[in-house]
Amino acid sequence: MAKDTMKAVVFHGKLDVRVEDRPVPKIVDQTDIIIKVRYSALCGSELHVFRGHQPSKTDFIMGHETTGEIVELGSEVKTHQKGDIVVMPFTVSCGECFYCIRGYSSRCEKCLLFGCPLLDGGQAEYMRVPLADATAVKAPEGIEEKKLVLMADIFPTGYFAARNAFEGFSASTISESVVVLIGCGPVGLCALINALEYKPKVVIAVDRVESRLQLAKELGAEPWNDQTDREGLIKRVKELSNGRGADCVIEGVGHADALRTGFDLLRPFGNISSFGKLCDED
């Protein structure tokens, strides 16, 4: 690469991020690649760090939702080549350990999180990707990168949340299921899209932001504002489920009140799938 420095978003503490000049990353291990970042999204979990709700060391490049073009490869990289457009999940994985071969790559024995004190992230011009053969995924031809970047974190999180919600349900049970989604932020809407693919009887989408509820309605959910009509929400869930309560709840707020609401709405032996990041409440 012709340049030695790059612009990067660096975390310096609560409510303090700065765009700074940083060295362009280099190959450290021969299983690494270097990508020129094309898109980098902001994850809600990073806001917890930024706002000081989650304690963290400082002086690292943020970002763990990234796509880019490979510009340099280590000698041991086998499945990629220069010029490939790739997307990375939020964690590094080896593809070979007990967890990876069972599909739980975020629990890899060599796991590292992009955008933390141990590994710089993708809110920069360039990023180093360790264990690239397992970590980086080559983009299919023809996909828009604005959509591809969703596959780094938020859409798979929504997929995982929906899959867990229906765990152990037969197809006939799913077709009769009343599903409640609490939280219609970006990941929540991705969970909604995935939940609707299972074709349950109904998905009730709960939020307090009308614009989010409108999006949920357009996607196919029945919207409810629990702040303005909580009693109506409870009554509606009972009505749709013949009095039993929600068959499954997908919780994506990360606040105790939302989780309590989920348990209040859930029927006995129902499933609750929570992906909201719980932090200290203030």
* Shared-domain flag, residues 78 and 165: no
Q: Is residue 281 part of a domain?
A: no
* Shared-domain flag, residues 140 and 166: no
Average pLDDT over residues 246-270: 94
Phi, psi of 263 (to 5 degrees): -70, -35
Q: Is residue 147 part of a domain?
A: yes
Q: Which of these three, 93, 123, 152, is where a domain ends?
A: 152
Q: Is residue 262 part of a domain?
A: yes
Q: How far apart are CA 177 and CA 241, in angstroms?
A: 8
DSSP string, the chain: ---SEEEEEEEEETTEEEEEEEEPP---STT-EEEEEEEEPPPHHHHHHHTTSS----SEE----EEEEEEEE-TT--S--TT-EEEE-SEE--SSSTTGGGT-GGG-TT-EESSBTTB--SSBSEEEESSHHHH-EEPPTT--HHHHGGGGTHHHHHHHHHHHHTTT--HHHHHT-EEEEE--SHHHHHHHHHHHHT--SEEEEEES-HHHHHHHHHHT-EEEETTT-HHHHHHHHHHHTTTS-EEEEEE-S-SHHHHHHHHHHEEEEEEEEE-S------
Task: Please calculate the CA angle 268-272-276 and round it to the nearest 5 degrees.
Answer: 150
* Shared-domain flag, residues 54 and 137: yes
Supply the pLDDT for residue 220.
98
* Shared-domain flag, residues 141 and 189: no
Supply the pLDDT for residue 209.
96
CATH code for the domain in which residue 190 is found: 3.40.50.720
Encode pLDDT of 49-85 as tens digits. 888 888 899 999 999 999 999 999 999 999 999 999 9
Task: Give the domain extent around 210.
Answer: 157-274
Supply the pLDDT for residue 1.
63
Q: Is residue 280 part of a domain?
A: no
Number of domains making up the chain: 2
* Shared-domain flag, residues 166 and 147: no
* Shared-domain flag, residues 64 and 183: no
* Shared-domain flag, residues 245 and 161: yes
* Shared-domain flag, residues 69 and 169: no
Average pLDDT over residues 83-93: 95
Average pLDDT over residues 111-125: 95
**Residue 165 in this model has a pLDDT that exceeds 80:** yes
* Shared-domain flag, residues 138 and 263: no
Q: Are 241 and 249 in contact (CB under 8 A)?
A: no
Supply the pLDDT for residue 189.
97
Q: Which of these three, 95, 128, 152, is where a domain ends?
A: 152
* Shared-domain flag, residues 22 and 134: yes
CATH code for the domain in which residue 16 is found: 3.90.180.10
* Shared-domain flag, residues 147 and 161: no
Q: Is 221 exposed, middle or buried (0-12, 13-18, 19+ CB in 10 A)?
A: buried
Q: Are 129 and 135 in contact (CB under 8 A)?
A: yes
Average pLDDT over residues 208-235: 95
* Shared-domain flag, residues 256 and 165: yes
Q: Is residue 187 part of a domain?
A: yes
Average pLDDT over residues 25-33: 97
**Smallest Cα–Cα separation from 121: which of 230, 6, 4?**
6
Q: Which of these three, 123, 152, 181, is where a domain ends?
A: 152
pTM to 2 decimals? 0.88
